[in-house]
Amino acid sequence: MKNKSIVASTFFAGLFMITTGTQAIAQNKQGVTTHTYSSNATEKDKYGVTWYNVEAKGDNEEWKQITLYRNGEVHKITMVNDKVTEMYIGERKVAEADFAQYEPMLKEMLERLKKQREEANKARAEAEVARAQAEKMREQAALDREQAMKAREQADREREKAEVAREQAEMARKVSEKDRQEANELRKKAELARGEAAQARLLAEKQRVQAEQQRVEADKMRMKSDEQRVLAEKARAEAAVARVHAEKARGEAEIARKRSDEDRKQVEDLIDELVQGKVIGGREDLHVLQLTDESLIVNDKKQSAELHQRLKTKFLKKSGQIISFKSSASGTYWNINNQ
């Protein structure tokens, strides 16, 4: 049961990271840290935002470039120390005097990003604990197998001792019988030998009692050996259960890997369609892509309804699915929200 709980906690931690968004951290040659966050929302929030992407620079994220899709239009906002310094809606530049009406929306968005980072860090810490627990269980299983082997060796030694004791008891019995026979012969030969015969009988009785005691001890040793054998069998059974759990975890990891390969192939096929349709000149010309039930955005430009409908029918497998792609100097990121 302990192994099952570890596997479950690791799986749900990974699932949380997929459904809340994506986060990437990079560092350029000058040592400047860049954080990139993307949402995977499936419906509009109270401000009409269905998708956003944030690229932040600096250890404290002093500079931020925010791109979001709101009420059918692409918004680009530049912030320094959480203050708006420049803003575009589509191709139109927003006047500085109008920045204040967008600050509540941006403040709430940044608070959600902060919570997203904290939850992601917590999930990674839980996954690390799960891995440490699994390693500890493997070490314990190896120790149990070693102890079981020692117990079996000890049981074998106890059985050998018991066999020696039984042989000695048998020899003592035979000696006792021989003594009694000799005593009877001595009694027939001479009345004077009765005293010696009585002493011989007493000696034989003592030897019989000793032999019985040895037999009792041998039985105790045999019972102890049986108990140790039962413990060894139990340890082997527990080790077999641990192996079954490990195999199940590997199977689940293989399924996740295959699903990731299928999603990547789907994104690459969509990009090839854009190249063939001459929406972009080549793969290297694509920087931002989002395909939803509502629209198709390529490099921050909304595409025609005809192209959107054709690619939506071909690549969106179900209602509410979102395909996202972003390429920048810090790296290339893609995601398919399968909710």
Where in the sequence is the domain holding 124, given as residue range(s)?
Answer: 2-136
On whether both 131 and 154 belong to a single domain, the answer is no
Count structural domains, the chain.
3
What CA–CA distances, in Å, run from 296 to 122, 157, 179, 333? 34, 78, 110, 17
Of 188, 217, 245, the residue that ends a domain is 245
Of 30 and 218, which is predicted with more confidence? 218
Q: Helix, strand, or coil here: 100?
A: helix
% the chain with pLDDT above 90: 39
Q: What is the model's pLDDT at position 8?
A: 37
Q: What is the model's pLDDT at position 10?
A: 36
Residue 253 maps to a domain: no
pTM, rounded to two decimals: 0.31
Q: What is the model's pLDDT at position 16?
A: 34
Residue 252 maps to a domain: no
Q: Which long-range contacts (CB under 8 A, 24 or more apart) does 214-223 make?
A: 214/165, 214/166, 214/168, 214/169, 215/165, 215/166, 215/169, 217/165, 218/162, 218/165, 218/166, 218/169, 221/158, 221/159, 221/161, 221/162, 221/165, 222/158, 222/159, 222/162
Residue 240 maps to a domain: yes
What CA–CA distances, in Å, run from 21 to 17, 138, 287, 334? 6, 34, 18, 11
Q: What is the model's pLDDT at position 202?
A: 82
What CA–CA distances, in Å, run from 322 to 130, 176, 289, 317, 328? 31, 95, 10, 10, 20
In whole numbers, what is the pLDDT of the chain averaged over residues? 83
pLDDT above 90 for 36:
no
Q: Among 123-132, 137-146, 183-192, 319-328, where is mean pLDDT lowest?
A: 183-192
Tokens of 24: 């990437």
Residue pLDDT, tens place only, 164-220: 989 998 998 998 899 888 877 838 887 865 887 688 888 789 989 998 998 999 889
Tokens of 214: 């040895």
Q: What is the model's pLDDT at position 30?
A: 58
On whether both 206 and 308 belong to a single domain, the answer is no
On whether both 130 and 156 belong to a single domain, the answer is no
Residue pLDDT, tens place only, 37-79: 666 655 678 888 878 888 888 777 788 899 988 988 999 999 9
Of 245, 269, 304, the residue that ends a domain is 245
On whether both 169 and 99 belong to a single domain, the answer is no
Residue of 28, 20, 112 whose CA lies nearest to 66: 112
Tokens of 57: 């620079």
Residue 63 · residue 80 · CB < 8 Å? yes
